[in-house]
Amino acid sequence: MNTPAQQESQTQSEYKMSSKNLDFYYGDFKALQDVTMYFKSQEVTALIGPSGCGKSTFLRCLNRMNDLIPISRVDGEITLDGDDIYAPDVDVVMLRRKVGMVFQKPNPFPKSIFDNVAYGLWVNGIKDKTFVQERVEESLKQAAIWDEVKDRLPDTALGLSGGQQQRLCIARALAVKPEVVLMDEPASALDPIATQKIEELIHQLKETYTIIIVTHNMQQAARVSDVTAFFYIGKLIEVGDTDTIFTRPKKKQTEDYITGRFG
């Protein structure tokens, strides 16, 4: 695993996203301190750490969801394909199309299954019926839920089970063809079988997308991710290949956390 210094000397195109010396404030409270890390294309990165360590805050920085919080402030740089996403001329709506997000609690719109997935296309001005239908089907297939819903697309999404709703939300995010998918504890509200389906889905999606996932479940981080980053009290303590982190982490704090000695 390269050090940040080594990584920086490589070409920017190797990394889909990066964060450099990122500080984040909620008002006076410094929630993130000097976070520097790099995300490769078509890799899954898991962010782990105890409650309140800043991992979800960091995730939300990656598509500027934190902008919705009035007292928030960012120092430092986050890039997507080498471009600073906080530059003044950035179209935030376009950013959030490219960097999609799936949340902890499934939040389908109170609409039909079909409309949930098509919505993102419609608000982007795409009206061609055939195109929309094809894209909806493709997204539902990518989210591994097509077979379960193909015969009831007009039914309300709220009638689906929790696991199905979450996969629908993933399909909804995929419909606008993002490049990066952010997932904030996507399976924590789901039962073990639904969780397994989501994890399987992540394995398939990483062939096409770059995925960054926040999870409380360490075994899940170990199962799905290529790279694992450990956060503690707003700092990035250690980042490395997942198998190395879980067999011989470099920092004692990391070791203590993953072996359950604290947190």
Choosing from 11, 147, 151, 248, the residue that interacts with other proteins (CB under 8 A) is 248
Nearest CA among 179, 175, 181 for reference residue 132: 175
Nearest CA among 244, 242, 238, 263 for reference residue 4: 238
Nearest CA among 216, 96, 102, 100 for reference residue 165: 102
Cα of first residue to Cα of last residue in the chain, in angstroms, is: 26
Does position 226 bind other proteins by CB under 8 A?
no
What is residue 53's DSSP assignment?
Answer: S
Does position 51 bind other proteins by CB under 8 A?
no
Q: Which stretch binds other proteins (CB under 8 A): 20-28, 30-38, 145-153, 245-253?
A: 245-253
Nearest CA among 110, 106, 158, 116 for reference residue 136: 116
Cα–Cα dist 86/190, whole Å = 34
CB of 210 or CB of 253, closer to other proteins: 253
Choosing from 222, 226, 233, 235, the residue that interacts with other proteins (CB under 8 A) is 222
Cα–Cα dist 246/244, whole Å = 5
Q: Which stretch binds other proteins (CB under 8 A): 63-71, 74-82, 168-176, 246-254?
A: 246-254
Distance (Å) of CA 154 to CA 45, 51, 76, 132, 167: 35, 39, 46, 14, 17
Does position 129 bind other proteins by CB under 8 A?
no
In the stretch 176-215, what mask flags binding to other proteins with x, by CB under 8 A?
----------------------------------------
Does position 255 bind other proteins by CB under 8 A?
yes
Does position 130 bind other proteins by CB under 8 A?
no
CB of 156 or CB of 188, closer to other proteins: 188
Looking up tokens 């409309």, which residue turns up?
115
CB of 31 or CB of 48, closer to other proteins: 48
Does position 251 bind other proteins by CB under 8 A?
no
CB of residue 245 vs other proteins: minimum separation in angstroms? 8
Neighbours of 136 (CB within 10 A): 23
Q: Which residues contact 151 (CB under 8 A, 6 or more apart)?
A: none
Choosing from 16, 64, 249, 253, the residue that interacts with other proteins (CB under 8 A) is 249
Choosing from 86, 218, 226, 235, the residue that interacts with other proteins (CB under 8 A) is 218
Instruction: Give the residues lining the site for other proteins (CB under 8 A).
Output: 218-219, 222, 246-249, 255, 258-261
